[in-house]
């Protein structure tokens, strides 16, 4: 550590006054010299404290984020946001490396996938520790949003956005095939797909986001499981139930395997398809049915997205219960931020309120902006009362259907500190079963064994 590092640390608020003095003395300065230097460093910032806040996200709507930051910085004197973004598919690993190496990170995007893991590792801090005021909004959140941000009974975030996995279809394809209603069960989906295939409208009517390296793939599969009767993965004690004979999970794997290998209605490229390739393939009209995050309906239907713009509709998830996965991606406070100076922690509050809270008594303009401009779902129930949001959603979807899907949505099950490891293992085992390399029973047994071994620790 050099004097320059100490000066930079104390002027940006990353280093406390005590830390500065200790460091300066360690570098050979006398205590009186260190105090004088400290005064010189901080005299200009007294009263109008200045600090940088490092904000890390996955790459989506980066220009919108930059603009939001600019607006916040103009509003909050002395705040500078150091913004960094990384690809979604690498985000977990990148953040693990950052946290383990103690790379400065104050606020970051997180997901219900990873909350328990990151909180157990001590990388995130519950809001009650430094931001109890932000905890007061939970009564207005959807249940899956609260569950997704809770670890050991404590809330760890405020929603960046919250959405559901939705069953989407190309209405034009259905009309051409003489089909008047979208499928309501998986059997109907198979039957309609064969009809579409037979008429040469789409060679593979179904495409699913099943890339092994996309964390979304487990959510697609889980949504399909949830849609069936007894669609659960674990019991209340977190014991696997998916490995029991005739389980919803087994039925789901069998359906996928049949669609891939027997009826050939499922595009084999699904096994390597991440979110954007699925969206692009749907836009091109190569496929009729898919399961995507709901906001992608806005992307599919936006003007200029392709020849089928405006033709993409949502239907309840096929199945018996029509349940689906509801998820939340949220702003999380790192443990590092809670150890910074009080003035910086205060800036953290300003940031979180502006980006996801109620900065002026009304729901954050950032949350509303994501909804109106990008079609991102939200965690706030009361935002449905907002005329601008309803109007914007009406341009690309059916607000009543969107709302119905939210009511049918459930948080993923088994969200523990070992869920991410289990997820990585499970994705490859599921692919083996889809391809017929192993039987459904063998795959589910292996997945259950892995869960039990991780649970045991």
Q: Interface with other proteins by CB under 8 A: which residues?
A: 89, 92-93, 96-97, 99-100, 117, 120-122, 203, 207, 211-214, 267-273, 277, 280-281, 284, 286, 417-418, 420-421, 424-425, 427-428, 431-432, 434-435, 437, 446, 450, 457
Nearer to other proteins, 367 or 430 (CB): 430
Least distance to other proteins, CB of residue 122, Å? 5
Nearer to other proteins, 110 or 227 (CB): 110
Three-state SS sequence of the chain? CCHHHHHHHHHHCCCCHHHHHHHHHHCCCCHHHHHHHHHHHHHHHCCCCCEEEEEEEECCCHHHHHHHHHHHHHHCCCEEEEEEEECHHHHHHHHHHHHHCCCCCCEEEEECCCHHHHHHCCCECCHHHHCHHHHHHHHHECHHHHHHCEECCEECEEEEEEEEEEEEEEHHHHHHCCCCCCCCCHHHHHHHHHHHHHCCCCCCCECCCCCCCCCHHHHHHHHHHHCCCCCCCECCCCCECCCCCCCHHHHHHHHHHHHHHHCCCECHHHHHCCHHHHHHHHHHCCCCEEEEECHHHHHHHCCCCCCCCCCEEEECCCCCCCCEEEEEEEEEEEHHHHCCCHHHHHHHHHHHHHHHCCCCCCCCHHHHHHHHHHCCCCCEHHHHHCHHHHHHHHHHCCHHHHHHHHHHEECCCCCCCCHHHHHHHHHHHHHHHHHCCCCHHHHHHHHHHHHHHHHHC
Nearer to other proteins, 121 or 241 (CB): 121
Least distance to other proteins, CB of residue 264, Å? 10
Nearer to other proteins, 9 or 277 (CB): 277
Nearer to other proteins, 210 or 380 (CB): 210
Least distance to other proteins, CB of residue 44, Å? 36
Least distance to other proteins, CB of residue 299, Å? 17
Least distance to other proteins, CB of residue 432, Å? 4
Nearer to other proteins, 284 or 395 (CB): 284
Mutual orientation of helices 440-456 and 248-257 as an angle, nearest 10°? Answer: 130
Nearer to other proteins, 85 or 117 (CB): 117
The sign of the dihedral angle between the CA atoms of 352, 81, 119, 454 is positive
Least distance to other proteins, CB of residue 114, Å? 11
Q: Give strand pairing partners of 159.
A: 330
Least distance to other proteins, CB of residue 396, Å? 24
Least distance to other proteins, CB of residue 115, Å? 12
C-alpha to C-alpha distance for 386 and 374, rounded to whole angstroms:
16
Nearer to other proteins, 135 or 284 (CB): 284
Instruction: Please enumerate in sequence order all residues whose Cβ is within 8 A of that of 92, keeping only pairs 6 or more positions apart, or say none.
Output: 113, 114, 215, 420
Nearer to other proteins, 230 or 254 (CB): 254
Least distance to other proteins, CB of residue 281, Å? 5
Least distance to other proteins, CB of residue 6, Å? 22
Nearer to other proteins, 394 or 437 (CB): 437
């Amino acid at each position: 550590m050099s004097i320059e590092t100490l000066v930079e640390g104390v002027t940006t608020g990353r280093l406390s006054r005590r830390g500065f003095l200790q460091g300066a003395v360690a570098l050979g300065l006398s205590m009186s010299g260190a105090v004088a230097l400290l005064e010189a460093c901080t005299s200009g910032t007294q009263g109008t404290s200045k600090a940088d806040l490092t904000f890390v996200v996955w790459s989506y709507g980066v220009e919108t984020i930059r603009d939001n930051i600019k607006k916040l910085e103009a509003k909050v004197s002395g705040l500078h946001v150091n913004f960094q973004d990384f690809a979604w598919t690498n985000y977990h690993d990148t953040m693990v490396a950052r946290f383990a190496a103690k790379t400065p990170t104050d606020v970051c995007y997180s997901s219900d996938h990873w909350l328990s893991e990151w909180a157990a590792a001590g990388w995130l801090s519950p809001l009650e520790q430094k931001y109890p005021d932000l905890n007061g909004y939970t009564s207005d959140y959807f249940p899956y949003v609260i569950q997704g941000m809770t670890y050991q009974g404590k809330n760890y975030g405020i929603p960046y956005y919250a959405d559901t996995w939705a069953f989407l279809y190309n209405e034009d394809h259905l009309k051409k095939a003489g089909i008047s209603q979208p499928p309501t069960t998986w059997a109907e989906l198979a039957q309609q797909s064969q009809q579409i295939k037979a008429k040469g409208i789409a060679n593979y009517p179904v495409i699913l986001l099943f890339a092994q390296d996309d964390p979304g793939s487990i959510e697609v599969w889980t949504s399909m499981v949830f849609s069936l009767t007894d669609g659960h993965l674990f019991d209340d004690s977190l014991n696997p139930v998916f490995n029991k004979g005739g389980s919803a999970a087994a039925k789901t794997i069998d359906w996928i395997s049949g669609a891939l290998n027997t009826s050939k209605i499922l595009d084999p490229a699904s096994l390597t398809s991440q979110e954007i390739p699925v969206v692009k393939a749907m836009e091109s009209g190569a496929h009729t049915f898919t399961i995507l995050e709901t906001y992608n309906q806005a992307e599919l239907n936006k003007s200029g997205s392709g020849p089928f713009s405006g033709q993409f509709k949502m239907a309840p998830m096929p199945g018996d219960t029509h349940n689906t996965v509801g998820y939340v991606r949220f702003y999380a406070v790192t443990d590092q931020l809670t150890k910074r100076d009080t003035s910086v922690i205060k800036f953290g509050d300003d940031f979180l309120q502006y980006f996801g809270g109620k900065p002026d008594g009304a729901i954050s303009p950032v949350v509303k902006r994501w909804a109106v401009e990008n079609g991102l779902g939200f965690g706030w129930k009361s935002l449905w009362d907002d005329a601008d949001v309803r109007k914007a959603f009406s341009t690309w979807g059916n607000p009543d259907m969107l709302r119905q899907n939210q009511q049918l949505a459930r948080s993923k099950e088994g969200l523990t500190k070992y869920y991410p490891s289990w997820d990585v293992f499970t994705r490859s085992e599921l692919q083996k079963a889809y391809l017929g390399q192993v039987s459904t029973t063998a795959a589910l047994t292996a997945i259950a064994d892995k869960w039990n071994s991780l649970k045991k620790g």
